[in-house]
Structure formats: C-alpha cells, structure tokens
Amino acid sequence: MTSDASTDTPAARFRDLAKHYGDVRAVDGISLEVKAGEIYALLGLNGAGKTTAIRTLLGMIKPSAGSVELFGQTVSPQAATVWSRVGFLVETPASYPELTVAENLKVMARLKRLPANTIETAIAQLGLQSYARRRARDLSLGNQQRLGLAKALLGQPQLLVLDEPANGLDPAGVNEIRQLLKTLAAQGTAILLSSHILAEVARLATRIGIIHRGKLITEMTAEDLHEKVARRLEIRTRDQDSAAWILRQAGHQPHTTSDGAITVEGAQALEFPDQIATLLVDAGCPPLHLAVHTEDLETLFLRLTGQEVPA
C-alpha cells in the first residue's frame, strides 16, 4: 500500500469549514486533520454537524466557507484523481438489492477501475464468504453494513471515511470491525469515523474530536482521555455518617451522593483504595462496597457540552 506517511501532508484536512443553511449553521468554522495511521473519531449529538462535515469532505455538498482537502488537494470537481485513494461509508449503506454481494462489489470495483481480485480480498476481510451469492435485499442489517464496509475497503484505500461503521452489527461483529480498523491503521491507513457508540470509540480511536452546535469544542488523544475523565472512589458501609467522619479525620474530603454513597476523589484514595479499606476496618466501620469508578466517555461528552449529567 502506498501512502503519504513519509510526508507531513494529512490524508484529510478541514480548514475553517463552515456550512450554512439559511440562518442554521450546521458547521461553523471547524479545523482538524487526519493523518496516516491514525483513527480519528468525530463525536457529537444528533444535529451537531458530524455528517455535514463528512459529506463536505467527500464532495457531496459544497461548503459555505473554508475548505476541505484530501491528500493536500482541495476537494473539487477537478480533484478527481484522489478518489481512488478514498473509501467511504456514509449513513445507510447503499446497494443494488437484486444483485448478489459479489455482484455489488464487482460493480463498485469497475467504477473504481480495480482488478477483480480486490473483490475476493474485501469479501474475506468482512467475513462475507458464505453470503457472496446472496442477493443484497435478503441480507440482515448487520450483513448489509458489512457489504457497505467491503465496498469502502475495495482497493485498500489510504483514507477510510466511515459514518457509524458498527451500525447493525452484533457484539462479535463489532469486535471484528474494531480489530480490522486497528490493523488497517497500523498498516498506515488514515481513518475518520463518526459514531454514537461512545464506549466503542474509547476502545478504538487514537484521537477524538467533539462537535457541538457546529463547532469543534475539544480534541483529545487516547492518552489525554485518561487524564480528562473524572474518577472517584465509591464507598458504602453500614454507618455512612461514621464512615464520612473517619475519612475527614484522616484528611480526606468525602462527599455523599443522592443515593447515599460516599465518594472520595483525592489522588491518594484513588491510587491506594486498599489503605482506605484498612482505615475503615481499623476504625470499626468496614466497607460493604469499595470501588474506583471512572467516568465513561458519554458522561464526559455531556459534561464538556454543558448537557445535564445523570446522577
């Protein structure tokens, strides 16, 4: 697979991208880039602008301001040569319902001017061997998604743009796609995806961008995520008032939640919860429950976007 990995040119780049529909600012000044070998996840509530940004990158809609680039070329009708290097699946996977899986892939391969052996490779990558002769209309939702992904992977593109790639897949299928995308990224493929399955994004993405009301409000690496998420030690005993007093006497700052649990967020307690357990046992107030809870990505997203976080 050839790639731009030897240069600093991103596979995809948004420069102050804006898309307006009358007074509605679907995308409002987004700037980001996706480089070879990384999996960039675009997150946002419904209507935040994710799909609009992706459709603009793929030349499906024209930006109101700013620009989008593929491999250093501004997306335009004149930049036709870059499309052989791009695979994409946006929203609902499209297919010819009366054609088989293999025939659908054959049509796409011809459109991309790819050799026939690329079809067999894509079928194997997505585990569609037993469905190759089945008509697309007879496929389950999950296998329709696999067919859409197979089309995107034809010809080993250097950039994959995927909107909800795990849609309709069962847990085993989600895991297969996760491993496939990780393998492709390790081989140098740049991957831009949007997803509402936030726990899956946390396992997959190397970088995460959060869009809210058309703006990119934050970016983080997978390493940053661990530092940004809130952590707390949750404690339950038979006598919560006494436990809270014991913890305060030891220099901790316990808080009581609405459901009666005690939480402690200090670094010492989080790093050494066993010491907290020993403290309470020695004071005659042994814990019935003691666990470190890490904020999930969904809660982090709600907090960063100013949404109400469930108790």
What mean pLDDT do residues 149-162 have? 93
Both 173 and 276 in one domain: the answer is no
CATH number at residue 241: 3.30.70.100
Distance CA 304, CA 218 (A): 8
Answer whether 5's CB lies under 8 Å from 188's CB: yes
Which residues, including other chains, have CB under 8 Å from residue 8's CB and lie 6 or more apart?
none
Distance CA 276, CA 266 (A): 11
**Residue of 253, 245, 257 whose CA lies nearest to 269:** 253
DSSP-assigned beta bridge partners for residue 212: 215
Q: Measure CA of the first residue to CA of the last residue in the chain; give whole Å.
A: 49
Last residue within a domain, chosen from 226, 257, 273: 226
Both 240 and 94 in one domain: the answer is no
| Edge-to-edge strand ranges of the sheet holding 24-34 | 24-34, 12-21, 65-70, 73-74
Answer whether 168's CB lies under 8 Å from 141's CB: yes
Both 33 and 66 in one domain: the answer is yes
Last residue within a domain, chosen from 226, 250, 278: 226
- The pLDDT value recorded for residue 311 is 60
Task: With cut-offs at 50, 70 and 90, classify the pLDDT of residue 277.
Answer: very high
- The pLDDT value recorded for residue 97 is 92
| Residue 306 counted as domain residue | no
Question: Packing angle between helix 101-111 and helix 141-153, nearest 10 degrees?
Answer: 30
| Residue 286 counted as domain residue | yes
Q: Percentage of the chain surpassing pLDDT 90?
A: 61
For the stretch 24-74, pLDDT in tens is 999 999 999 999 999 999 988 778 899 999 999 999 999 999 999 999 999
Both 164 and 33 in one domain: the answer is yes
| Residue 138 counted as domain residue | yes
pTM: 0.79
Both 266 and 211 in one domain: the answer is no
| Residue 203 counted as domain residue | yes
Instruction: Indicate the pairing of strand 159-163 with strand 86-89.
Output: parallel
Answer whether 237's CB lies under 8 Å from 288's CB: yes
Answer whether 199's CB lies under 8 Å from 36's CB: no
| Structural domain total, the chain | 2
Both 243 and 222 in one domain: the answer is no
| Residue 123 counted as domain residue | yes
Last residue within a domain, chosen from 192, 226, 260: 226
Q: What is the mean pLDDT of the chain?
A: 89
Both 99 and 118 in one domain: the answer is yes
CATH number at residue 111: 3.40.50.300
Which residues, including other chains, have CB under 8 Å from residue 171's CB and lie 6 or more apart?
none
Answer whether 169's CB lies under 8 Å from 93's CB: no
Task: With cut-offs at 50, 70 and 90, classify the pLDDT of residue 5.
Answer: very low
Could you tell me which residue, 193 or 303, shows the higher pLDDT? 193
Answer whether 11's CB lies under 8 Å from 71's CB: yes
Q: Is residue 218 pLDDT above 80, yes or no?
A: yes
Both 203 and 257 in one domain: the answer is no
Instruction: Indicate the pairing of strand 39-43 with strand 190-194.
Output: parallel
Amino acid symbol at 86? V
For the stretch 100-142, pLDDT in tens is 999 999 999 988 888 888 999 999 999 999 999 999 999 998 8
The pair of three-digit structure tokens given for residue 6, joined into one six-digit string = 């030897």
| Residue 262 counted as domain residue | yes
Domain that holds residue 62: 12-226
Both 121 and 245 in one domain: the answer is no
Both 216 and 261 in one domain: the answer is no
Both 111 and 24 in one domain: the answer is yes
**Residue of 108, 163, 104, 115 whose CA lies nearest to 139:** 104
**Residue of 310, 268, 259, 311 whose CA lies nearest to 292:** 268
Task: With cut-offs at 50, 70 and 90, classify the pLDDT of residue 6.
Answer: very low
Residue with tokens 């050494």: 272
Both 179 and 276 in one domain: the answer is no
